[in-house]
Amino acid sequence: MSNRLRHLGIIMDGNGRWAKKHGFKRNRGHEAGAEVVREITAFCANHHEIETLTLYAFSTENWRRPKIEVDFLMRLISRYLKKELKNYMNNGVRFETIGNLEPFSKELRGTIEKTKELTKNNTKLVQILALNYGARDEIVRSIKKLLQEKKEINIENISDFLDTPYSDLDLLIRTSGEERVSNFLLWQIAYSEFAFTKTLWPDFTTIELEKIIENFKKRERRFGAV
Ligand code: IPE
Ligand code: IPE
Ligand code: MG
């Protein structure tokens, strides 16, 4: 029996290098990357197994980038969500986020909340954008909430109080040739399969995704057993 792919996570990396390669400013790479998010999300919504797609869009460490790039990314996220609403509805996608939204502008938080609200009854796919997300931050916040509610610290409770009570990740893909996790879903990848590709995110296609999934299907997942 082949593996089931219910929860796919992607570290979308390489926008800046893609732009540089084509002689553009980094922002053009982020714009091109947003188009790929749209295509991959539609593919996953129409895939018979995938229930959740978690995309790393902005890490807790990405604030270290020049202000001009951070500001551009904030505007891009807002623009993407507004433009995407029609596609979310057409493709049956529910929009969710993980990460701490507090530092974002009121306007952006409003757009995020509105998109969640409007898409909450869609059932073909949950698209989760990781925004100001860091796995260490998420785990700490989970434990703080458990302590506040005087609950026992155990694996099940920590999982339940994460931003993602959605499920463990089955497959994690990172584009651009970097082979590291960069503080993405540490807790949820305990038994994930990994796939690294040299393709830069703006060049990533559904054809390549299909190939990666095909390879994932053939792997033997043991979960510690024999
Ligand atoms: C990923 O592309 C997008 C974000 C982190 C927001 P990068 O911007 O990290 O692109 P590279 O790694 O510099 O090529
Ligand atoms: C990870 O990519 C974060 C996102 C894709 C949003 P980075 O480009 O920020 O990661 P590092 O700095 O290369 O590890
Ligand atoms: Mg990068």
Polymer length in residues for the chain = 226
Average pLDDT of span 91-114: 97
- Residue (of 216, 5, 3) closest to 125 by Cα position: 5
Kindly give the residue spans of alpha helices, DSSP state H, lying in 53-161. Answer: 67-91, 106-119, 135-148, 155-160
Q: Whose CA is nearest to atom 1 of ligand 1?
A: 13
Q: Does 40 score more than 80 pLDDT? A: yes
Contact at 8 Å (CB) between 38 and 84?
yes
Mean residue pLDDT of the chain comes to: 97
Q: Whose CA is nearest to atom 14 of ligand 2?
A: 182
Non-local (6+) Cβ contacts of 127 within 8 A are 41, 44, 45, 53, 55, 88, 93, 94, 95, 96
Average pLDDT of span 55-80: 98
Ligand 1 centre and the CA of 169: distance in Å?
A: 22
**Active-site position among 62, 100, 157, 183:** 62
Low-confidence winner among 49-63, 64-78, 161-175 (lowest mean pLDDT):
161-175
Beta carbons within 10 angstroms of residue 119's beta carbon: 19
Q: Does 104 score more than 90 pLDDT? A: yes
Give me the pLDDT at residue 167, please: 81
From residue 70, alpha-carbon distances to 51, 74, 75, 97, 121 in Å are 30, 6, 9, 18, 32
The tokens of 46 are what? Answer: 């129409």
- Enumerate residues lining ligand 1, CB below 6 A: 12-17, 58, 62, 73, 176
The number of the ligand 2 atom at minimal distance from the alpha carbon of 178 is: 13
Q: Whose CA is nearest to atom 13 of ligand 1?
A: 16
170 as an active site residue: the answer is: no
Q: What is the per-residue pLDDT across 142-199, written as a single tens digit (0 to 9) for each?
A: 999 999 999 999 999 999 999 976 689 999 999 999 999 999 999 999 999 999 999 9
- The span from the CA of 155 to the CA of 221, in Å, is 21
Contact at 8 Å (CB) between 125 and 51?
yes
Our answer on whether the CB atom of 57 is closer than 6 Å to any ligand 2 atom is yes
Q: Does 226 score more than 90 pLDDT? A: no
- Residue (of 136, 218, 169, 175) closest to 9 by Cα position: 169
Average pLDDT of span 118-134: 98
Average pLDDT of span 124-153: 97
Q: Which residues have CB atoms below 5 A from the ion given as ligand 3?
A: 13
Q: Whose CA is nearest to atom 12 of ligand 1?
A: 14
62 as an active site residue: the answer is: yes
Give me the pLDDT at residue 1, please: 79
Give me the percent of the chain exceeding a pLDDT of 70. 99
* Residue of 11, 12, 13 to mutate, ligand 2, most atoms within 8 A of C-beta: 13
* Residue of 17, 178, 184, 203 to mutate, ligand 1, most atoms within 8 A of C-beta: 17
Placement of tokens 């990314």 in the chain: 73
**Would you say the C-alpha torsion 224, 187, 201, 81 has a positive or negative sign?**
positive
DSSP run (H or E) holding 35: helix 26-45
Placement of tokens 């270290």 in the chain: 64
